[in-house]
Amino acid sequence: MPKSTFFTGQPILNQLLSLIPRTKVDQLAHKYQANRYCKKFKAYDHLVTMLFSSFKNCSSLRELITSLQANSSRLSHLGVKYTPRRSTLADANERRSAEMFSELFHFLRKRYYGFSPDSHLTGKIKDRLFIIDSTTVTLFSQVFKACGNALANGRRKGGVKAHTLIRSKDDVPCFVHITAASANDRTFMPKLDLPPGSILVMDKGYLSYHPMNAWTAQQITWVTRMNKGARWKLEEEQPVSDKHTGQGIIKDMWILLGNPSRATDAPVQKARIVVYHDKSSGREFQFLTNNRELGALTIAGIYKRRWQIESLFKRLKQNFQLHNFLGDNQNAVQIQLWCTLIADLLVKVIKDKADKKRKTKWSFTNVAGLIRHHLSTYIDILAFLIHPDKALLGYNEGIPDYQQTLFAT
C-alpha cells in the first residue's frame, strides 16, 4: 500500500497550536506572573489543556483529564511534559489570571485578521462594516449576577454576557468584553476603538448619545433602530421616489437627535430616520443613523447585516462546550470562555486558508467536527481540507480488491 502524502509527523492539535507563537505566550505569562509559584503546570501547559478541552467539548474535569491520559504518548508533540491532576487544573483555573488569555485572543485576532485603528477605512461597505451585540451564557450557579426573573425559590442562576464586536468581512470577533449577565449593553460602547470611515451597526439597546456623538466626530457612521424613549425633532422630510416606495421605503426624515434641555450633557446632533416596511414579515422598522449621504435602501440593507453576529453566536454555542463549565468561580468561567474564542479563531484561520485554494467552501461545523474527531491524528489538516477527494483516491488505489479474489467470475 503506498504511503499517503497527507500524513505528517505532528497531530492536528499541534498544527493548530503552531498558529500561536510560543514566545508571545511566554511574554504574557511573564507580564501577568502566570508561572509564579508553579513548579510543573506552567501557563503554556494550561493553555494547551484548555484548548484541548474546547476542541473535544469536554464537559467535566474528569473527562478532560481522562482524555489527556489516553493521549499521553502524544503530549510531547504539544510541548506538554505530563498530564495534570484534576485538583491542579482546578487550582490553575481559579488562580491564574484570565486577563492573560484575553490578551492572547486579541493578539491572535490582530495577527490573522488585523486592522489598524489609526488607519482610515475606504472601499466597499462590507469591508468597512462592523457589528456589535451581546450574548448571554447561563450558568447553573450563582457565580455571576444573572438577569431575568428569579426562580420559584427566589434564587437566580448565574449568567455571563459577552459583549462582542465583529468585522463583517472577517466574521470573527474583533473585541470581546465579558461581564455579568445583568450588565447594561451600553457600558460596552465607550470601550470601542474603530478607525475613521467605519460603519457600525447595533441594536436599539445600544442607544447612548455620548458615544454616538463621539463616533460622529470621528467620521464613523452608525446605524441602529429607533428607541421609543429617544428625543428628536423633525428638521426636513426628504422625498421618496415611487421606485423606493415599491421597495419598502415609507419615509426618509432628517432630524435633530437629543434633548435640548440637556444639551450640556449630550449635545444635539444631526441624524436621520428611515422608515422601512418589510413585505415578507409585514413589519415596519425605523432605522436611525448619522449618515445623510447613503441611500435609504442602503441604510436598511446595512442594518439587515446585523444578523451576521447572531450566526456567530450560534456557531460558538453549537460547536463548543458552553453548557457545562470546568469551574464554579468567575476566573475559571472567564478562562474557559476566552479559550473557546481562541479555539474558534484557530478553526476559522484553518478554514479560511483552505477555502482560498478551493472552488467550494467548507462549512465551519464540518471543519470543527473533523478536528474534534481527529484531534490526535497525524494528518496534514490543511492539505486534507484542500484536496480531500485526492487523499481518499490515493488511499483507495493501494487497497487490493479482495471481493474478486474470494469469488471467481
pLDDT at 131 over 90: yes
Distance of CA 31 to the CA centre of its chain: 25
Mean per-residue pLDDT for 346-358? 94
> d(Cα 299, Cα 322) in Å, to the nearest integer?
34
pLDDT at 191 over 70: yes
- CA-nearest of 278, 288, 203 to 253 is 288
Q: How many residues does the chain have?
A: 409
pLDDT at 402 over 50: no
Cell 456557531: give the residue.
315
Q: What pLDDT shows up at residue 393?
A: 56
Q: What pLDDT shows up at residue 180?
A: 87
Q: What pLDDT shows up at residue 120?
A: 61
Lowest-pLDDT range of 271-285, 356-370, 380-394: 380-394
> d(Cα 336, Cα 54) in Å, to the nearest integer?
8
Residue 92, CA distances (Å) to 49, 104, 299, 369 in order: 11, 17, 48, 28
Q: Strands, DSSP E only, in 267-323?
A: 269-277, 284-289
Mean per-residue pLDDT for 210-237? 91
At how many degrees (to 10) do helices 86-95 and 61-70 cross? Answer: 120
Tell me which H or E stretch contains 176.
strand 172-180
Q: What pLDDT shows up at residue 387?
A: 87
Q: What pLDDT shows up at residue 236?
A: 92
pLDDT at 147 over 80: no
- Exposure letters 126-160 (e unless 16+ CB within 10 A, then b): ebbbbbbbbbbbebeeebbebeeeeeeeeebbbbb
Q: Angle at Cα 321 formed by Cα 318 and Cα 323, nearest 5°?
A: 90
pLDDT at 50 over 90: yes
pLDDT at 1 over 50: no
Mean per-residue pLDDT for 242-247? 92
Per-residue pLDDT tens for 22-31?
Answer: 999 999 999 9
Q: Angle at Cα 342 formed by Cα 359 and Cα 93, nearest 5°?
A: 155
Contacts 24+ apart (CB under 8 A), 271-277: 271/232, 272/299, 273/226, 273/232, 274/249, 274/299, 274/300, 275/249, 275/250, 275/251, 276/248, 276/249, 276/250, 276/300, 277/248, 277/249, 277/250
Rg (alpha carbons) of the chain, rounded to whole number: 25
Mean per-residue pLDDT for 180-201? 89
Per-residue pLDDT tens for 285-334?
Answer: 999 999 999 999 999 999 999 999 999 999 999 999 888 888 888 999 99
